[in-house]
Amino acid sequence: MPYYRRRRSAGGTFFFTVVSWQRRPWLCEEISRTVLRESIERVRRDLPFEIDAWVLLPEHLHCLWTLPENDDDYPTRWKEIKKHVTRDVRMRPLLPWVIEDPGLSRRRKREARVWQRRSWEHEIRDEHDFSNHLAYIHFNPVKHGLCSDPSAWPYSSYHRYQAIGLEELARAAAQLNDCPDVD
């Protein structure tokens, strides 16, 4: 069994990419968004964290989280969110491929065909790093050809930043040459 080394810092801010199984485009469906939102809210009640930025695309999501002081356990949070979403998706046959035989490896691990097994994370080092990842999150729908401007994509925290007058923060950071190219 592989041991994945993850950088964990109590009270840290982290960038995540989480991808649907085989990049199936189900995340932006209304019922899927509802199930995901409810799962996140359920986990946040017991294991709080701040969502600093978010974008939901049809087959993946990116987000920035800040954990509470003295807490570094983001893997458990993601495990619980994925578990709740998977359970809810199974109870409501939303995704036809979920009820198919998942294969021996996934059966042994009691996994469904909802999420890719792993996610990608990066610990935010400083304000510059935060700005770069914030821009990456908000401009990701543009990068993928889903819209021509981040304000046109409805499933993003860009609108929250825009409402408080900080959209220029995201726009300015996007102009930086070292904006991360992760997917």
Torsion angle, CA of 20/25/27/32, rounded to 10 degrees? -110
Note if 155 is an active site residue.
yes
CA 20 to chain centre: 10
Which one from 3, 155, 158, 161 is the annotated catalytic residue?
155
Q: Among candidates 150, 127, 130, 125, which has minimal Cα distance to 56?
A: 150
**Alpha-helical runs (H) found in 25-108:** 30-46, 74-91, 104-108
| Strand partners of residue 13 | 66
Residue at token pair 């610990």? 123
**DSSP labels, 126-155:** SHHHHHHHHHHHHHHHHHTTS-SSGGG-SS
Q: Could you list the active site residues?
A: 155
